Amino acid sequence: MKSHLRFFGRSDANRSKTDGPGEASGRSSGRFRFRFEVLCLLFLAFHAIATVASAAEPRKPNVVVILADDLGYGDVQAYNPQRGKTPTPHIDRLASQGMRFTDAHSSSGVCSPSRYALLTGRYHWRTSLQTGIVGVWGKPLIAPGRLTIGSLAQSEGYRTACIGKWHLGRDWPISNENRKYFTGFGPNFTGVTDAHRAAWAETFAKPIPGGPTTRGFDTYFGTDVPNWPPYCFIADDRAVGTPSELLPAAMLGNNQGSLPGPALPGWKFEPILPRLIDEASRFVRGSVESKRPFLLYLPLTTPHTPLAVNEKWQGKSGLENAAADLIMETDDAVGQILATIAACGIENDTLVIFTSDNGFARYVGAQDLERRGHFPSGPLRGYKMDVYEGGHRVPFIVRWPGVVKPGTVSGQLVHHADLIATLAEIWGRSLPDDAGEDSFSLMPLFEGRDTPVRRYAVSCASTGIPGFRDGQWKLIPAPEGESARNSPVQLYDLATDLGETQNLAAQQPERVEAMQAAFAKIIESGRSTPGADQKNDVEVIRYPRPRAVQAKTKDGRPKSAAKRKSP
């Protein structure tokens, strides 16, 4: 460094004018050395700047999204410490290590529409799925080319995987000639024939297009819908094995399988969850070995039916209810994947999001659980399928060391749809106008600010009836439930009435009118975020519709769904 300083300290103008010819040669050599050393200095300076910039630039976090199935707001102890009786130590620990959101929502009280919104950042009711769920052997709900959290991650160089329950439809390769062999398994069915087996063999030997590997995920492993056919695993776009038997009748009903259909010989429900966790852990370890960031979307199959509890967990809840036991087994599964992350040494480099697709299913014994002191919806009204908060207000926990402060709680309104905008901001990306139309970034909340990131949100009943949020206010613009008989519209102030017991619509007609207008604008604009207007895929059903309120069974399910428990 002394020589560098010497050269910078002496200019040619200050050199002696009496230097001789030999000294002139020395000056020429000195000028060369000067230029060389200046270049070296510049190189070292630029290298140092680049090194500092590289060190300051945050590494792209791995992303793990764990989606439980039918886990109620009150099923997690951290959310329901007084009236929750199912121990969930692993999920509770995750909450203590990160941020717990108390006003987080899915797009619907049932699963397919909620999964659509989580993956795309767009409300499901902008698609053809205005009510209910994707049916058995249904077509893909996510349009080809639509940006998902998976395809966004792929564009950032991530390895991506979906492991678990898909239930967003596929282009099942069932020919018109073979379609009759995939239905008709009712009471008059006489048995599986050689023609059935031949049709199933032909179908399941083909790729199954339109699934996760065409919607942003490099790889997939899971059961498409665990209580529906086909009763087998699917790896990427291929069935694992050839279903050749009908699922045994003993495995149908009683909150096990819901629909008869082709199954692998000897198929069992109990091994599904452990296998998914094994596959997820294998993907995490492989990603670490590859030295590439990864996004894992892990839609668990539990505690949804089949209520197939492994022996270790049978009776563990002490509540004499298989769903409660399965909640504990689900918590343990979450603990296993978190342990894998820790064992791989990437805990500090991984953003973990845990949530549920909708509320707890009333029909698996909610009333019995309440009598034993466990309230799956906590302080909320309603259950799965409902427009009330118990249908779609869900646990939502975020852990991101170094960004999200441990042990924090946010009461701000957030939505599953917000995930894609959040990831885009993390990666410094701007979403195009035709993507994430209803997605708002949660990064300000992750960083500790306590100001709203969204004003409006929409969450629907399985019948399609929407619950429209404007801050603390919630509007239900159509009859739903017993209390709606006296008023076609319901308005609740959730800040003072979380249990939705006092309908204020008659007292605040101006607020009702303003909220109806705001909701109409969100429908007509094709988006709720700033940006160019977009088209909905279909004409959105407006409520109230000219029909009677759908009749329900004694356990609260629509009669049309009584024979088919909705995933």
In degrees rounded to 5, what are phi and psi of residue 530? Answer: -65, 145
Radius of gyration over alpha carbons of the chain, in Å?
Answer: 29
Query: Alpha carbon 321 to chain centroid distance?
Result: 27
End-to-end CA distance of the chain: 71
Return the beta strands (E) in 16-61 as ranges: none
Using CA atoms, how far apart are residues 66 and 210, in angstroms rounded to an integer?
22
Say if CB 107 and CB 116 are below 8 A apart.
yes
Cα distance between residue 86 and residue 80, in whole Å: 10
Beta bridge partners of 470: 456, 473
The domain spans of the chain are 2-55
The kind and range of the H/E element at 63 are: strand 62-69
- Strand stretches in 340-388, DSSP E: 350-356
Q: How many residues does the chain have?
A: 567
Q: From first to last of its 567 residues, what are the pLDDT tens digits of the chain?
A: 333 333 233 334 343 333 444 444 444 445 545 454 544 454 444 444 444 333 344 579 999 999 999 999 999 999 999 999 999 999 999 999 999 999 999 999 999 999 999 999 999 999 999 999 999 999 999 999 999 999 999 999 999 999 999 999 999 999 999 999 999 999 999 999 999 999 999 999 999 999 999 999 999 999 999 999 999 999 999 999 999 999 999 999 999 999 999 999 999 999 999 999 999 999 999 999 999 999 999 999 999 999 999 999 999 999 999 999 999 999 999 999 999 999 999 999 999 999 999 999 999 999 999 999 999 999 999 999 999 999 999 999 999 999 999 999 999 999 999 999 999 999 999 999 999 999 999 999 999 999 999 999 999 999 999 999 999 999 999 877 655 555 689 999 999 999 999 999 999 999 999 999 999 999 999 999 999 999 999 999 998 775 544 444 444 444 544 444 445
pLDDT tens digit sequence for 115-142: 999 999 999 999 999 999 999 999 999 9
Residues 70/356, Cβ–Cβ less than 8 Å: yes
Q: How far is CA 494 from the centre of its chain?
A: 25
Residue 382, number of CB atoms within 10 A of its CB: 24
Give how far the C-alpha of residue 339 lies from the chain's centroid of Cα atoms, to the nearest Å: 21
Integer Cα distance of 527 and 439 in angstroms: 9
Mean pLDDT of all residues in the chain? 89
Give yes or no for a contact between 462 and 561, defined as CB atoms under 8 angstroms apart.
yes
What span, in angstroms and rounded, lies between the C-alpha atoms of 286 and 294? Answer: 10
- Report the relative pairing of strands 219-222 and 159-163 from DSSP bridges: parallel
Give the C-alpha separation, 563 to 366, whole Å: 18
Per the listing, tokens 């894998």 go with 340
* pLDDT at residue 59 in the model: 72
Structure tokens at 42: 């510049």
Which helix (H) or strand (E) is 467 found in, with range? Answer: strand 466-470
pLDDT at 25: 45
The per-residue pLDDT for 479 is 77
What is the number of other CB atoms lying within 10 angstroms of the CB of residue 450? Answer: 10
Q: What pTM does this model have? A: 0.87
Cβ 382 vs Cβ 359: under 8 Å: yes
Helices (H) and strands (E) in the chain, counts: 13, 18
Bridge partner residues of 467 (DSSP): 459
210: left (phi over 0), alpha (psi -120 to 50) or beta: left
Q: Give yes or no for a contact between 330 and 164, defined as CB atoms under 8 angstroms apart.
A: no
Query: Residue type for 111, please?
Result: C
Task: Pull the structure tokens for residue 215.
Answer: 């919607």
What lies within 8 Å, CB to CB, of 522 at 6+ separation is 456, 458, 528
Give the Å distances, CA to CA, from 75 to 125, 233, 374, 375: 28, 28, 8, 7
